[in-house]
């Protein structure tokens, strides 16, 4: 079970102080301008919060997943956009840490943790989202170089990315023909079209295009044909951070609604004095607490490399993001007409929450992952109530459904989402 130590609680309090004193005053301006807040990025870098979850040998803080989720939650309570800054360092670095050589880790990860460079994770394509095994971007070997051609879409940080982690086809159709490369953002032939978003103001979402982009052969991460596996391993480890973002946004909305209802009067008493308002707030608080427990349990499983981490990560991402959408909508309702005004942060929180149900695997995809993991874990198990389960023997042995072995061999149809 997860539990923060006294030292970790002190670290969380320091993060909270940084957020309230240095980040909160800028949030409304960021929302209005839509500009990337480079000054906030520099603050996070100076505080060691960009590379918080990256091993210290690559310039990071060396904190494990649970503490990383605690950081992301505190940032997201005030700004979903700012929470993305640390999350994207993790997302870009993970494929390099999973598949890269020691030299590649030192070359590409350290500049991300220091804030010197920005990274983006490039899987999703205009016609390929939920089925990354069907990628159409290609990489062809020419002597000591790879030449990449193709388009990506819904790529976070694309407009400012110095380091593109690009998944491309190097072999036959299917998951086994995908490899992953590091592509410099300023390489000849790389162009990016910026995409405008409903929420996460200042988030540089874009559609990169690669036209005969030539990179050194040594920019291949891992062995050729292992890219799909690297992508799936990355998602297992990154989804708890998305869940932590959702928990943070939701908790921020609860805190806002509580403050507002204790100060705003209606019918001669504070709004909080009305039973219906108390019930709403109680439901919101309980839902967020449940989502947090699941999120931090998933992070613990990732730390321990527990075989159940894939299912728990998907469950946490799904439950927490659905909770964030529901809770932020209720917060807008509790603030009434003021909830619909940009003068109050409730409507921004609601806009930010929506994308959490979509990126790094739309929640419908998470349900597929969860169900497949359930079948995999149940494979070969005797039915608990055989006397009331006609044909249970066939189900347990995999008849009428894909066996655990078949499921494991078949590529999972997962979405890279807008965080790709």
- Give pLDDT tens digits for 302-344: 999 999 999 999 999 999 999 999 999 999 999 999 999 999 9
Structure tokens at 238: 């990154």
For residues 37 and 44, the answer to whether their CB atoms sit within 8 Å is no
| pLDDT at res. 306 | 93
The radius of gyration of the chain's CA atoms, rounded to the nearest angstrom, is 22
| pLDDT at res. 128 | 82
Share of the chain above pLDDT 70, in %: 92
DSSP 8-state code for residue 315: H
Q: How many residues does the chain have?
A: 420
Q: Which residue has the tokens 């939701």?
A: 250
Residue 404 clears pLDDT 70, i.e. is over it: no
| pLDDT at res. 53 | 87
Q: How does residue 386 score in pLDDT terms, banded at 50, 70 and 90?
A: confident
Q: Alpha carbon 210 to chain centroid distance?
A: 24
| pLDDT at res. 385 | 81
Q: How does residue 4 score in pLDDT terms, banded at 50, 70 and 90?
A: confident
| pLDDT at res. 387 | 79
Q: Which domains can be identified in the chain, with CATH numbers? A: 6-114 (1.10.540.10), 119-227 (2.40.110.10), 229-378 (1.20.140.10)
Q: CA-to-CA distance for 83 and 74, rounded, in angstroms?
A: 8
Q: Catalytic residue at 360? A: yes
Q: How does residue 268 score in pLDDT terms, banded at 50, 70 and 90?
A: confident
Q: How does residue 381 score in pLDDT terms, banded at 50, 70 and 90?
A: confident
Q: How does residue 420 score in pLDDT terms, banded at 50, 70 and 90?
A: low
Query: Which among 360, 364, 393, 406 is annotated as catalytic?
Result: 360
For residues 157 and 209, the answer to whether their CB atoms sit within 8 Å is no
Report CA torsion sign: 377, 382, 387, 389: positive
């Amino acid at each position: 079970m997860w539990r923060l130590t006294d030292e970790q609680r002190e670290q969380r309090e320091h993060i909270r102080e940084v957020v309230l004193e240095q980040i909160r005053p800028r949030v409304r301006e960021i929302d209005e301008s839509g500009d990337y807040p480079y000054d906030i990025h520099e603050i996070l870098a100076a505080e060691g919060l960009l590379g918080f979850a990256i091993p210290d040998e690559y310039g990071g803080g060396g904190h494990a997943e649970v503490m990383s989720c605690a950081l992301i939650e505190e940032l997201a309570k005030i700004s979903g956009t700012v929470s993305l800054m640390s999350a994207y360092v993790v997302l870009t670095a993970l494929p390099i840490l999973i598949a890269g050589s020691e030299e590649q880790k030192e070359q590409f990860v350290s500049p991300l943790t220091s804030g010197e460079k920005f990274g983006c994770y490039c899987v999703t394509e205009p016609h390929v989202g939920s089925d990354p095994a069907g990628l159409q971007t290609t990489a062809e070997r020419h002597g000591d170089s790879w030449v990449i051609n193709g388009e990506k879409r819904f790529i976070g940080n694309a407009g400012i990315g110095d380091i593109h982690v690009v998944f491309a086809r190097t072999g036959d159709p299917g998951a086994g023909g995908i490899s992953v490369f590091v592509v410099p953002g300023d390489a000849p032939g790389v162009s990016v079209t910026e995409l405008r978003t409903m929420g996460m103001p200042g988030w540089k979402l874009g559609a990169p295009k690669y036209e005969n982009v030539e990179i050194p052969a040594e920019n291949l991460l891992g062995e050729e044909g292992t890219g799909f596996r690297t992508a799936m391993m990355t998602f297992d480890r990154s989804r708890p951070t998305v869940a932590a973002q959702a928990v943070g946004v939701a908790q921020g909305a609860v805190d806002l609604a509580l403050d507002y209802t204790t100060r705003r009067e209606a019918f001669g008493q504070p709004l909080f004095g009305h039973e219906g308002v108390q019930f709403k707030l109680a439901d919101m608080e309980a839902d967020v607490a449940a989502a947090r427990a699941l999120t931090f349990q998933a992070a613990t499983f990732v730390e321990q490399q527990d075989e159940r981490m894939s299912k728990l990560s998907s469950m946490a991402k799904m439950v927490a993001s659905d909770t964030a959408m529901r809770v932020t909508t209720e917060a807008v309702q509790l603030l009434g007409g003021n909830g619909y005004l940009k003068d109050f942060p409730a409507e921004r929180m609601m806009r930010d929450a929506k994308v959490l149900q979509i990126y790094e695997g739309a929640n419908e995809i998470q349900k597929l992952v969860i169900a497949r993991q359930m079948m995999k874990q149940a494979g070969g198990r005797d039915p608990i109530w055989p006397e009331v389960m006609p044909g249970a023997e066939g189900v347990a042995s995999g008849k009428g459904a894909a066996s655990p072995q078949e499921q494991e061999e078949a590529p999972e149809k997962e979405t890279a989402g807008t965080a790709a």
